[in-house]
Amino acid sequence: MGQPARTIRRAVVTGGAGFLGSHLCEQLLDRDVEVVCLDNFLTGSPDNVAHLLERPGFRLVRCDVTDYVHVPGEVDLVLHFASPASPLDYLRMPIETLKVGSLGTLHTLGLAHDKGARYLLASTSEVYGDPLEHPQREDYWGNVNPVGPRGVYDEAKRFSEALTTAYRTSKGTDTGIVRIFNTYGPRMRADDGRAIPAFIGQALSGRPLTVAGDGSQTRSICYVEDTARGILEMAFSGHAGPVNIGNPDELSMLRLAEWIVELTGSSSPIEFIDLPVDDPKVRRPDTTRARELLSWRPSVSSEEGLRRTVDWFATRLEAAAVTAG
């Protein structure tokens, strides 16, 4: 049993100017929660929260949580979402990724403990590695290569889970852990290296869609509004987790590429490239725990979510062309 749900009036969101973090800030404000958004803009951007700056109760602060975290006043909730999250980013910034998973988690846990706040850690399906169990349940320990190229992200998150649990068991801090599966939607960076923005960018510009391996590897994609809603259901609960937040709608990378070609009306061909080292062959969450504990399930279909995402990228591309022309 978790602690009883608490009233949340003021929240701190680390990585709040990132793709997912910005949606969390937005949904918190919609719930009449004041938001202090902390970000060092390593992979996030002030543009992601520019539309929130005039909203009452929103504050944007440049802050690197691996150095020091100080937030004056009362805090009811700390959401730790600061971290490079795409392979392109964490392979380019391995030390920064490990630091934000270790020191950043330590500092933000300290903030939550000092404030008597609820703490929610953004963990990831990557803690399951290249899974030998399918679908992945929260009690599966994973199959991770700690010295492989993906290890910096996987092990940073596994360590952060252990540290979060230690604060709960030894200090009594009210903590929770969510393991987030592949999330997509508006505000993804076109160049972040993940499959959906890469495929959409390639399709809209008429370039070949580059599919790794033979495209048979699978992912389960969840639209960002659904992911953010599930995360906040966990945040407002008293449960410790870990809880998988994702969409069990599993599809192959080849099917995803073909689908995006269809949705964009593109004539782009599909080309196959080498499979990255330690790339997981399958990925699908068992979401039983999220349904039973949080009464949460995704509501946006993959087709609708991909259509919205394609439209957002197309609008951005058109605006950039007008500006350049």
Tell me if 155 is assigned to some domain: yes
Please say if 153 is a catalytic residue: yes
Residue 263 located in a structural domain: no
**Can you give the pLDDT of all 325 residues of the chain as single tens digits?**
455 667 999 999 999 999 999 999 999 999 999 999 999 999 999 999 999 999 999 999 999 999 989 999 999 999 999 999 988 898 999 999 999 999 999 999 999 999 999 999 999 999 998 889 999 999 999 899 999 888 999 999 999 999 999 999 999 999 999 999 999 999 999 888 889 999 999 999 999 999 989 999 988 999 999 999 999 999 999 999 999 999 998 899 999 999 999 999 999 999 999 888 767 788 899 999 999 999 999 999 999 999 999 999 999 887 776 676 6
Rounded to 10 deg, the angle between the 302-324 and 195-204 helix axes is 50
In a domain, 73, yes or no: yes
Indicate which CATH number applies to the domain containing 81.
3.40.50.720
In this structure, which amino acid lies at residue 80? H
Name the residue range of residue 87's domain: 10-184+222-248+285-299
Considering the entire predicted model, what is its pTM?
Answer: 0.94
Angle at 18 between CA 25 and CA 120, to 5 degrees: 55
Q: Are 294 and 230 in contact (CB under 8 A)?
A: yes
Domains of the chain: total: 1
The catalytic position among 119, 153, 184, 223 is 153
